[in-house]
Chains A and B, each alone.
Chain A
Amino acid sequence: MDTRPVDQILKKYNYEQSSIIGILQDLQEKENYLPENALEYISERLSMPLTRIYRIATFYNAFSLKPRGKYPINVCLGTACHVRGAAMVLDRIKMHLGIEVGEMTEDRLFSLETVNCLGSCALGPVIVIGNEYHGKMTPAKVSSTIDQYRKDL
C-alpha cells in the first residue's frame, strides 16, 4: 500500500486523534471508500485503537466500508422531497438498476445511497449523480437521467 497519500492527510490534520472524522472524510474522498489497510495504517500512526476507528466509520453516514460505484447516486429523502414523491423516485431507481440502497451495480458504475436533505428543496425531488444535481425528478425521468451516464464512457 502506498502510504504517502494517507501520510499527507494525517499531516494536514496534525496527527490529532480528535480530527479523526475529518481524516476519514479526506480518505473517503480520495479512495471512494475506506479501505481496510488504510484504516489499519491510520490506527498505527495515530496510536488510536482500530476498534475505535471502526466505531466511528460505522456510526456516521458519510462513510462507506465498501467501494462505491463510479457514479454514486444519492436520493434526497428530506421531508419536502418526500412530500413531492421522492419515495416513488427511489423505487424506480431501484427497479431500473436492480440494486437496493447501499449496493452497487455489477458493472461498478452506480451505487445507491439516500440522504436526509440536501437543502435544495425548491428543486425537489432531487437526486445527485456523482456531483451533479438533478432536480424535479419523476419516476418517468429516472431511466433517461441515469442512462446518460452510461453513454459518457
Chain B
Amino acid sequence: MIKFTIDGFEVEGEEGQNVLQVALDNGFDIPHLCFHEALESYGACRLCLVEITQGKKTSLTTSCNYPVLAGISVRTDTEKVTRARRMVIELMLARCPDVTAIRELAEKYSVGTPRFSLDNDDCILCGLCERVCREVVGVEAISFLGRGSGRKVGPPLEINPKTCIACGACVYVCPTNCIKIEENEKERTIVRWSRTLPLKTCKVCNRTFAPWFQLEYFKNITEGIPKDFWEKCPDCR
C-alpha cells in the first residue's frame, strides 16, 4: 500500500491508482467531469486540479492522471486550486450555459454569470463517449475531429458511424447528457451521430429488442453461445 496525505489526512492507495480515485474513495470532494473509473484517465476538463508536493516541488496538476506515490502531499482546497477551479467552471459555463451538471458546479463553487459571451454548446469535449466506445465496447465508432477551437467529437465525416452498434454506452457516460437516444418499435437512433439501426424482433414474444447490427457484432466476437440465444430478447432467454 502506498501512503500519502490529502489535506493533511493520511490515506492509502494501491500501485496503479491515481490520486483522484483515492481521494474520492476517502470522501474528498474533488470536482471532475471527464473521469470515469472504468476508463483511462484523460485529464481534459481540468476540474480535478489539486496542488501536489513531491519532494521540494509543488505543482498544480490534474489528480485523475497523477499516480499515487509514497510521501506526496495533496491539497484540494488551497487558494490557487480554488481560483483555478472556479475559472475552469466559468469557462465551461460560458460554453454550455444550459447544461445541468455545469450549472450545479457553478452554484456549488459560487461561480456567477460568466464574463464572456455565451455559446450555445452542450458538449465539453471530455472524450468519455469516444473512450468508452474504443476501450470498452471496442467498435471505435466516434473520435475527436479537428483541433483547437474547432475541435469536436463525431464519426468520420460527422454522420452515420458505420461501426456503431447503437449500444448506448456513450449516452450513458456523457456528463452533459448531450447524446440522446430514441427508440420506437422499428428502430433505434443515437441522435447525435445520426445513427439509426433497425431492431430485431424476438422469436418468442414478438417484441423488438435490439438492433440487428449489434446482435451480429456480438455474435461475431463471442464463442460457444447457442445460435438460439440471439433470436430471443433478454426477457425470453
Direct contact of A and B (CB under 8 A): yes
**B144 in contact (CB, < 8 A):** yes
**B112 in contact (CB, < 8 A):** no
* A53–chain B nearest beta-carbon distance, Å: 7
CA A116 to CA B144, docked complex, whole Å? 23
**B41 in contact (CB, < 8 A):** no
Once the chains bind, are A49 and B163 in contact (CB under 8 Å)?
yes
**B71 in contact (CB, < 8 A):** no
Query: Which of B142, B146, B157, B161 lies in contact with A59, CB distance below 8 A?
Result: B146
Contact pattern, A 46-57, Cβ under 8 Å of B = 1, otherwise 0: 000111111100
**B155 in contact (CB, < 8 A):** yes
Once the chains bind, are A55 and B157 in contact (CB under 8 Å)?
no
* A85–chain B nearest beta-carbon distance, Å: 25
Residues of B within 8 A of A39 (CB): 156
Known A49-B163, A50-B162, A51-B163: A36·B157 in contact at CB below 8 Å: yes
Once the chains bind, are B147 and A51 in contact (CB under 8 Å)?
no
**B64 in contact (CB, < 8 A):** no
Once the chains bind, are A51 and B157 in contact (CB under 8 Å)?
no
Main secondary structure, interface of A, reads helix
**B140 in contact (CB, < 8 A):** yes
**A65 in contact (CB, < 8 A):** yes
Once the chains bind, are B157 and A54 in contact (CB under 8 Å)?
yes
* B164–chain A nearest beta-carbon distance, Å: 10
Residues of A within 8 A of B157 (CB): 36, 54, 65
CB closest residue in chain A, given B148: A59
Residues of A within 8 A of B145 (CB): 54-55, 58-59
Residues of A within 8 A of B162 (CB): 50
**B190 in contact (CB, < 8 A):** no
CB closest residue in chain B, given A53: B156
Known A36-B157, A65-B157: A51·B141 in contact at CB below 8 Å: yes
CA A59 to CA B156, docked complex, whole Å? 12
Q: How many A residues touch B, CB cutoff 8 Å?
A: 12
Q: Which A50-77 residues have C-beta < 8 A from chain B? A: 50-55, 58-59, 65
Contact pattern, B 23-53, Cβ under 8 Å of A = 1, otherwise 0: 0000000000000000000000000000000
CA A65 to CA B146, docked complex, whole Å? 12
* A51–chain B nearest beta-carbon distance, Å: 5
Residues of B within 8 A of A50 (CB): 156, 162-163
Residues of B within 8 A of A36 (CB): 157
Query: Which of B143, B161, B163 lies in contact with A55, CB distance below 8 A?
Result: B143
Contact pattern, B 124-154, Cβ under 8 Å of A = 1, otherwise 0: 0000000000000000111111110000000
CA A51 to CA B146, docked complex, whole Å? 12
Query: Which of A51, A58, A65 lies in contact with B140, CB distance below 8 A?
Result: A51
Once the chains bind, are B140 and A52 in contact (CB under 8 Å)?
yes
CA A85 to CA B97, docked complex, whole Å? 38
24 contacts between A and B (CB under 8 A): A49-B140, A49-B163, A50-B156, A50-B162, A50-B163, A51-B140, A51-B141, A51-B155, A51-B156, A51-B161, A51-B163, A53-B156, A54-B143, A54-B145, A54-B156, A54-B157, A55-B145, A58-B145, A58-B146, A58-B147, A59-B144, A59-B145, A59-B147, A65-B157
Residues in chain B within 8 A of chain A (CB atoms): 140-147, 155-157, 161-163
Going nearest first, the 10 A-B pairs with the smallest beta carbon separation are A54-B156, A55-B143, A49-B140, A58-B145, A51-B143, A58-B146, A51-B140, A59-B147, A50-B156, A51-B156
